[in-house]
Every structure is written in C-alpha cells, then in structure tokens.
Structure 1
Amino acid sequence: MYQFSYAEIMADDVADSREREKQVLDRAVSLLRAAEYKGRESREAVEALYYTRRVWVALIDDLRLTDNQLPANLKADLISIGIWILKEVDRIRMRQSVNFKGIADIITIIRDGLK
C-alpha cells in the first residue's frame, strides 16, 4: 500500500482548491457573457449578477481572514478588485451600467493567474 507524505497531501489540497476556484470563476465569466448577450433585463443577467456578487463577497471575506496565507499586498489588491466588481454589479442592477464585459474580463485575468 502506498503511503502519501504530508507534503504530497497538502500539495494536492492546494491544487484541488485552485481548481475549484478556477471552476467558480469560469462559471461567473460564463454567466456574465450570457448576460451581456441577453441584456440587462434578462433572467441571465439576474443570475449572473447574483452569482458574481456571492462569489466576490465570499472571496473578500476569505481574503480578510488572518489565516489566509497570501502576501498582504496581493490580498489588498484582490480585495480592491473585488470591491470594484461589487460596485459594478450594483451599478448594473441600478441600471447605471451594462458593463458585463468589463467584469468578465477582469475575472478572466484573475482566473488565468491562479496557479
């Protein structure tokens, strides 16, 4: 029987976590693209905005935790981006914007940066 080392298990956990994060961000991008195509008044827009908001609130909450091991400057940058995304989501909801593409583009950049 093969015995896994602690380092191997931890590396797998990190890799699994990153893969789940990518999947969550992929879904947000997909929903935002559909909303952009269908329009601000569509069911797709409601779903995309709701999902994106939930994702970024959760990410910001996680980034604020003291046991989050990302470098402080990276956490601050991601929190700032998250706040911008939440503000853009609210602007779309209040019919002040249709910037689905801008939000999707930023999320795509962040998703592509996950290692």
Structure 2
Amino acid sequence: MYQFTYAEIVDDAASDARGRERRAVKRGVELLEQAQVAGIRSRETVEALHYLRSLWSILIEDLAQPENDLPEALRADLISIGIWVLREVEQIRLERCDDLQNLIDINTMISEGLK
C-alpha cells in the first residue's frame, strides 16, 4: 500500500494544475496560429479570440483570489499580462489591430513558463 505525505499530494496537485494551465494556454497559441494562417477576418480568428478571452478571464479571476498560492508580485504581473491580452483581443475584434503575432508571442512565453 502506498502512503504519501500531505506535502507530496499538494505538490502533485500544484503540478497537475500547472500542467492543465499550460495545456490551456498552449491550445490558445495553437488556435491563434491557425487564425493567423486563415486570416484576421476568419472564423478561426473569432474562435481563437473567444477562447483567449474566456481563458484569460478565468485565469485573472483565479489570480485575484487571496487563496491563490502564487507570490503576490507574480500574481500581479500575470494579472497585468492578462489584462493586456484582453485589451489586445478587443482591439483585434474591433478591427483596430490586425496582428495576432503579439498574442502568439506572449501566450507562448506564458506556456513555456508553466513548464
């Protein structure tokens, strides 16, 4: 029979959560890359922007919770990035910007940071 310490279980849970977050952000990058190929006014772009808006809204909400175990400064930085992503998504949606590369780059960096 296996016996685990509480710390081992908590570490595994945090690692699992990071893995899920990484996969979610990576999926956003994949959708953005497909949208870039399809064109700024494509269905793929609409889907990518909707996905990113939903994802980052959830992440920001989680980061803002006092129960979040990340250091406060890191949480604040990630919330700032999330707000930037949401603003950039809105600029593209309103056709004030037609470049997805910045969103791809930022989300790729976040995904890599979650490894």
In the aligned structure 2, how far is the partner of 1:62 from the partner of 1:99? 28
User: What's the TM-score, normalizing by structure 1?
Assistant: 0.95
For residue 107 of structure 1, what is the aligned residue in structure 2?
A: 107
Structure 2 length normalisation: TM-score?
A: 0.95
Distance 2:114 2:51 in 1: 20
Task: Give the secondary structure class of the aligned counterpart of 2:12.
Answer: helix
C-alpha distance in 2, partners of 1:77/1:2?
39
TM superposition shift of 1:108? 0.8
**Structure 2: tracts of 5 or more residues without a match:** none
Runs of 4+ in 1 over 6 A off after TM superposition: none
Per-residue displacement from partner, 1:38-68 (whole Å, max 9, x unpaired)?
A: 1111110010000000000001101110111
Q: Output the amino acid matched with 2:64.
A: R
Question: CA shift at 1:99, angstroms?
Answer: 2.3
Structure 1 residue identity aligned to 2:72? A
Work out whether residues 88 and 99 of structure 1, in 8 Å CA contact, stay in contact via their aligned partners in 2.
no
Contact (CA 8 Å) 1:92, 1:98: kept in 2 or not?
yes
Q: May I ask how many residue pairs the two structures share in their alignment? A: 115
Deviation at 1:10, TM superposition (A): 1.1
> What CA RMSD, in Å, does the superposition of the two structures yield over aligned residues?
1.0
